[in-house]
Amino acid sequence: MVTITINKKQYEASEGKTILEVCREIGIEIPTLCHDDRLEPHAACRLCVVEIEGRRNLMTACSTKVEQSMVIETHSEKVIKSRRDILDLMITNHPLDCLTCKKSGDCGLQNYCYEYGIAEGSFSGTRKDYPIDDSNHFYISDQNKCILCGKCVRVCSELQETNAIGLSDRGFITKVAAPFDEGLINSKCVSCGNCVSVCPVGALEPKSKERFRLWETRKVRTTCSYCGVGCQMELLVKDQKVVGVEPAKGPSNNGLLCVKGKFAYSFVNHHDRLKTPLIKRNGKFEEATWEEAYKLITDKIIETKEEHGSDALAGLTSARCTNEENYLFQKLFRAAIGTNNIDHCARL
Of 17-25, 158-166, 279-287, 339-347, the segment contacting ligand SF4 by CB under 6 A is 158-166
Work out whether 342 is an interface residue with ligand SF4 (CB under 6 A).
no
* CA-to-CA separations, 217 to 22, 107, 117, 196, 256, in angstroms, rounded: 32, 15, 27, 18, 21
Alpha-carbon torsion, ordered 147, 151, 152, 154, to 10 deg? 140
Should residue 149 be labelled a site residue for ligand SF4 when binding is judged by CB under 6 A? Answer: yes
Are the beta carbons of 263 and 138 closer than 8 angstroms? yes
* Distant-in-sequence contacts of 89-94, Cβ < 8 A, 24+ apart: 89/121, 89/123, 90/121, 90/147, 91/118, 91/120, 91/121, 92/121, 92/122, 92/123, 92/124, 92/125, 93/121, 93/127, 93/128, 94/121, 94/144, 94/145, 94/147, 94/201
Q: Rule CB under 6 A: say whether 156 interacts with ligand SF4.
A: yes
Closer by beta carbon to ligand SF4, 28 or else 236: 236
User: Whole-angstrom Cα distance, residue 120 to residue 110?
Assistant: 11
Among residues 20 and 155, whose Cβ is nearest to ligand SF4?
155
Kindly write out the interface string for residues 110-139 of this chain, putting x where it contacts ligand SF4 by CB under 6 A and - elsewhere.
Answer: ------------------------------
Residue 176 in the binding site for ligand SF4 (CB under 6 A): yes
Query: For 275, left (φ over 0), alpha (ψ -120 to 50), or beta?
Result: alpha
Distance CA 229, CA 306 (A): 38
Q: Give the alpha-carbon dihedral of 231, 29, 45, 130, to 10 degrees.
A: 60
CB of 71 or CB of 229, closer to ligand SF4: 229
The answer to whether residue 189 forms part of the interface with ligand SF4 (CB under 6 A) is yes
Q: Contact 43/62 with Cβ under 8 angstroms?
A: yes
**Candidate residues 133, 151, 206, 255; the one interacting with ligand SF4 per rule CB under 6 A:** 151
Site size for ligand SF4, by CB under 6 A?
37
Question: What would the x/- binding string for ligand SF4 be over residues 202 to 231, using CB under 6 A?
Answer: -xx-------------------x-xx-xxx
User: For residues 229 and 288, which CB has a smaller minimum distance to ligand SF4 in the complex?
Assistant: 229
Q: Where does this chain touch ligand SF4 (CB under 6 A) — which range of 4-12, 16-24, 201-209, 292-300?
A: 201-209
Binding track over 257-296 against ligand SF4, x by CB under 6 A: xx-xx-----------------------------------
Q: Which of residues 289-328 bind ligand SF4 (CB under 6 A)?
A: none
Q: Which residues bind ligand SF4 (CB under 6 A)?
A: 146-152, 155-156, 160, 162, 164-165, 176, 189-195, 198-199, 201, 203-204, 224, 226-227, 229-231, 253, 257-258, 260-261
